[in-house]
A and B are shown apart, each in its own frame.
Chain A
Amino acid sequence: MLSWSAETTGREVNIDAVADPTVDPGVPGGRFLTALARAGSGTNAGPMHVTALAREIGGAAAVDAAAVTAAFESFNRVVDGTGLPVGRAGRQQQASVIERLRLDRFPHADHV
């Protein structure tokens, strides 16, 4: 979805930022967005991440970014809990992203 949105709308996004916290994705508030998302998946999340992001992109947008993070806490569990396959076509389509981010080391990478 990230590559698709960036390519279709002509925006440059460095997808390495998804896997590497030292990389700036190149979108407004980028480093703060990735920090918020990483905090969301852990157990130490607190308001400091969303407050820092709010200084960069505004309070309402920061709250919405927290909402997206929360939504994917659900999505991830839904797909991993039901064994939803990516499919061969999806895997082929995303081959370069899988290789670049080394996603094939993830536990469900072989489930197509």
Chain B
Amino acid sequence: MQIYIVCKNANQRLRQIRMERDYRSLVFDFSEAPGPIREDIVSALRGTWEHLARPGTWWDAGERRRIAEVARAARMRLPEPATDLPAAAVATSSLLAATPAQTSEAWVGERVAALGEEHYVEILGITTRVVAADTFLRLLGSPPEPFLDPEPGQPSEEAVEPRPQRIRSWIAVGNTLAPPFTQALVPSENAATNRLVHALYMTGEEMDDPDFRRGDLHRTQIEVAASTLSHSNECFY
């Protein structure tokens, strides 16, 4: 019983320290924004940063942070940060962040051969979330949010069983060929990306409603913004 109480107290203290650290060091300064930021967006952004700071499934937290730093720099065409990441990891994050339409089946195949398919998918997840969050902050006149210090620990290396199949996509995504399932090889990344884009865009249920309104913003306005951005990125999907 005594041991149980000691462990429980230690866990509570650890949780408290983690919360104090996160809420002290995460800023997400929206003071320049012309309107209120929805609480679910703020929560999703905080969650994204906290998830990034934890060991992943195939990369440890330090590597995940360095992948994020590469993505951030590449997206803004800034010099590549010095890093000890494998060259294929840097190339993957850089191209996905800067010029995603330049990918091809051969290019993805080469990166996967060098890194492993799951490692590639985790880089994709980190990169896309950092680019999305940075874009939101930039559009609102907010400074880039510093990344949290990486937490210690090893990647879990939990493989998905049964392994999703590769059908007509370049990465194994399983039977459902739709964006919410594209990171099926690394469920933690898939869930993290979905949490963020559901807050920024809409949930799957809301997507089924052509008359959906987000406050004063009608679905047609939402899709005008989405389609224009996708066209600018030369995204055919």
Q: Which residues of A contact B (CB under 8 A)?
A: 1-2, 4-6, 8-9, 11, 13, 15, 17-19, 25, 27-30, 33-34, 36-43, 45-47, 49-51, 54, 57-87, 101, 103, 106-109, 111-112
Contact flag A79-B237 (CB < 8 Å), given A69-B139, A73-B229 = yes
What mask results when residues 172 to 186 of chain B are scored 1 for a CB within 8 Å of chain A, else 0? 010001110011000
The 10 nearest A-B residue pairs measured at CB: A59-B35, A83-B170, A47-B141, A71-B200, A71-B201, A70-B136, A41-B232, A54-B34, A37-B228, A2-B223
Of the four ranges (under 10, 10 to 19, 20 to 34, 35 or more), the interface on chain B belongs to 35 or more
**Known A-B contacts A9-B211, A77-B97, A77-B100; A63 and B35 likewise in contact (beta carbons under 8 Å):** yes
With an 8 A cutoff between CB atoms, is B27 at the interface? no
Query: Told that A28-B221, A70-B133, A81-B182 touch, could you supply 19 new A-B pairs with CB distance under 8 A?
Result: A5-B220, A6-B220, A25-B224, A27-B220, A28-B218, A40-B229, A47-B141, A54-B34, A65-B217, A67-B200, A68-B222, A76-B233, A78-B124, A80-B103, A83-B105, A85-B168, A103-B231, A106-B234, A107-B236
**Bitwise interface map of B from 149 to 190 toward A, beta carbon under 8 Å scored 1, else 0:** 000000000000000000011110100011100110000000
Instruction: Name the B residues within 8 Å of A73 (CB-CB).
Output: 128, 131-132, 135, 229, 233
Choice from A18, A65, A86 contacting B227 with Cβ under 8 Å: A18
B126 to chain A, nearest CB (A): 11
The reply to whether A59 and B236 contact each other, CB–CB distance below 8 Å, is: no
Candidates A1, A45, A58, A103; contact of B135 at CB < 8 Å: A45
**Residue numbers in B under 8 Å from A45 (CB-CB):** 135, 138-139
Contact: B222 with A42, CB < 8 Å? no
Complex: A59 Cα to B38 Cα, angstroms: 12
**B window 198-237: CB within 8 A of A:** 199-201, 207, 210-211, 214-237
Instruction: Please state if A71 and B197 are interface contacts (CB–CB under 8 Å).
Output: yes
B129 to chain A, nearest CB (A): 6
Name the residue in A33, A50, A60, A68 with the highest tally of chain B Cβ atoms < 10 Å from its Cβ. A68
- A17 touches which one: B33, B41, B97, B228 (CB < 8 A)? B228
Q: A112: which B residues are within 8 A, CB to CB?
A: 168
Q: Is the CB of A1 within 8 A of B179?
A: no
Contacts of A76 in B (CB 8 A): 100-101, 229-230, 233, 235, 237
Q: Are B223 and A5 in contact (CB under 8 A)?
A: yes
Check if B141 sits within 8 Å of A68, measured CB to CB: no
Residues B211 and A8 in contact, CB atoms below 8 Å apart: yes
CA distance A2 to B207 in the complex (A): 12
- Whether the Cβ atoms of A15 and B182 lie closer than 8 Å is no
User: Are A72 and B230 in contact, CB atoms less than 8 angstroms apart?
Assistant: yes
A58 cross-chain contacts in B, Cβ below 8 A:
35, 216
Q: Is the CB of A11 within 8 A of B214?
A: no
Are B231 and A18 in contact, with the CB atoms below 8 A?
yes
Contact status B135-A40, CB under 8 Å? yes
Contact A80 B237 (CB under 8 A): yes
